[in-house]
């Protein structure tokens, strides 16, 4: 169901990395809609830029327990990744689309037919991956 694929012979600029925002099921459930799923993955040049895109475009928020959004027993729904967490994909062995498809299929949640991964590309494109 991917709508955009990088060709293997078309390298991405090395300054772009992928930052994965993995959702915690705070309160016993995940939030899923057109902009957010269990994994929200942002392509950006820095963690600061990725955090801005995650908050502005995807609806990711941080410090949810402190702000009263999330369950204090379960913890925050979203955590900021570390700068070192940025993935440099594609590699010799995998594209970001392959990684997203594998992640969508390997997740215990969501149910079949529901979104599992949303990629936000640096050029503004967005691709949603669903569990089969």
Mean per-residue pLDDT for 87-106?
A: 86
- Domain extent listing, the chain: 17-130
Q: What is the pLDDT of residue 39?
A: 93
Distance separating alpha carbons of residues 65 and 58, to the nearest angstrom: 19
Position 14 confidence tier, pLDDT thresholds 50, 70, 90: low
Position 70 confidence tier, pLDDT thresholds 50, 70, 90: very high
- Number of helical (H) and strand (E) elements in the chain, helices listed first: 3, 4
Q: What is the pLDDT of residue 91?
A: 73
Q: Name which residue leads in pLDDT, 108 or 27.
A: 27
Distance separating alpha carbons of residues 124 and 82, to the nearest angstrom: 23
Mean pLDDT of the chain: 86
The answer on pLDDT for 114 being more than 80 is: yes
Distance separating alpha carbons of residues 103 and 17, to the nearest angstrom: 17
């Amino acid at each position: 169901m991917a709508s955009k694929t990088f060709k293997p012979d078309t390298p991405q600029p090395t300054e772009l990395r992928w930052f994965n925002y993995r959702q915690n099921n705070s309160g016993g459930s995940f939030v899923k809609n057109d902009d957010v799923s269990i994994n929200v993955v942002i392509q950006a040049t820095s963690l600061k830029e990725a955090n801005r895109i995650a908050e502005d475009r995807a609806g990711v928020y941080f410090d949810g327990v402190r702000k009263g959004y999330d369950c204090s027993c379960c913890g925050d729904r979203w955590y900021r990744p570390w700068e070192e967490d940025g993935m440099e994909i594609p590699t010799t062995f995998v594209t970001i689309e392959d990684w997203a498809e594998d992640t969508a299929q390997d997740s215990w949640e969501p149910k079949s037919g529901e979104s599992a991964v949303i990629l936000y590309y640096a050029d503004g494109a967005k691709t949603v991956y669903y569990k089969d």
